[in-house]
Amino acid sequence: MKKHLTLLPIFLVCFLMSSCQNQVKTTETVNENPHTHIKKSHTDVLKQEREQKERDEKKKLLEQAAFSAQQYDYQRAMTLLNQSNYSRDPEIKSTVQTYQNEQKNLVKWPDNGKISHLFFHSLVVDESRAFDGDYMDRGYKDYMVTIEEFKKILQQVYDRGYVLVNIQDIAKPDPKGNMVYQSIYLPQGKKPLVLSQDDVSYYEYMKNDGFAQNLTLDANTNVTNTYQDKTGKVVQGPYDMVPLVDAFVNLHPDFSYRGAKGIIALTGYNGVLGYRTSESSYGQNSDHPNPHLAEDRQKAKNVADEMKHNGWKFASHTWGHLNASQVSLNTLQRDTAKWRKEVEPIVGPVDTIIFAFGSDIGDWKPYSNDKFSYLRSQGFTYFCNVDASTVSWTQLGKNYFRQARINVDGLRMAEELAGKTKVLEPFFDVKLVYAPSRLK
């Protein structure tokens, strides 16, 4: 008994030591859990963020591909998906297969010689200022279209199945320099159409007459217009053809064949795109020097670069708005040199000349004269005149392509209403478009 009593303190000490050790382990375990939980939670967050990023990237990729596919550029859409990091993704693979099937349903346009070309001038924003009875009233009514008329025309042209193409989509030189027709594939019932706008310089004579002042870039680098209303308030917005077509194509991608928009034909004597960029007219030694000449040239170039990125093409309208059929070869040469010196650095090299006054350098027969040889030597391959006697007229030469344009303006619409022509009938109903203010 005494022996057992002697051992009792020893057992108590051992028990207490064991309890302390267990307590320490328990405390350590408790202390470890929050760290493990935090580490695990952080890993989960990173995983979720990575997965969300991948979902966002894939969504954006599919949207980009869908936009190209809607514009009949299925090859670009499929390449975009197949060369992405998600090419093995089931949804991506399924979309590629869908595009392959849709591409097979496209049909080749049967005759590139029967493609129409419509053109406009600057659009009237404020009819009360343009059609105000002064000495410019008649000219504006004859040669311009109002912004509301244009919107209605654009919608009807789209509703009737037309699709914008570039003139270069119709024909191109082959490796030997011979001009050959190109294959244009569209859904059954769709029809290719070329669009252009002349004199996008916002000439000085148009000031305070209800037109846009220039083309510019907004805060998001979108091409837009500057416009001053009759109260003197200056605003930005879509007040002319370029931003209106851009917005329409964004809403209806299938209105554009592989991103095509239209051709902007520029003179140079009043500058370009609303900027007084001509050294001849606004240089230091001119009668009306522009102290911001260099800055305006850069602004115009920035706008032109963005327009080209968005699918627009540029063309020469001759520097001085010359009648190419009447002037001498020497005058045409001097004018072209001036255009290349003052306009080309802003818009880049061009291969198209849209003749002013609807003129031409020859009759309907294939080109063969000194003016043509000179213009070809300057890099011009595409030549456009005006002929509203027929819905379409083209000429495929050995080393050039020639296309007639239909003027959409007050004169042509008035003739249509009077029953003198039906050339606009395939594109839109003039009665539903014609502005009542023209009759005042």
In tens, the pLDDT along 94-143 reads 999 999 999 999 999 999 999 999 999 999 999 999 999 999 999 999 99
The pLDDT tens digits for 152-206 are 999 999 999 999 999 999 999 999 999 999 999 999 999 999 999 999 999 999 9
66 Cβ contact list (under 8 Å, min separation 6): 77
d(CA 420, CA 423): 9
The pLDDT of residue 423 is above 90: yes
* pLDDT tens profile 20-58: 444 444 444 444 555 556 666 778 877 787 878 888 899
pLDDT at 1: 43
According to the model, what pLDDT value does residue 12 have?
42
Q: Kindly report the average pLDDT of the chain as a whole number.
A: 92
For 53-58, which contacts have Cβ atoms below 8 Å and span 24 or more sequence positions? 54/86, 57/85, 57/86, 58/86, 58/89, 58/91, 58/92
How far is it, in rounded angstroms, from Cα 109 to Cα 116?
Answer: 13
Long-range contacts of 45-52 (CB under 8 A, 24+ apart): none
434 versus 43: the higher-pLDDT residue is 434
Domain map (residue ranges) of the chain: 2-104, 108-439
Among candidates 185, 169, 183, which has minimal Cα distance to 102?
A: 185
Tell me which fold the domain 108-439 belongs to: TIM Barrel (3.20.20)
Query: What's the CA gap between 83 and 63, in Å, rounded?
Result: 15
What is the pTM for the complete model shown?
0.89
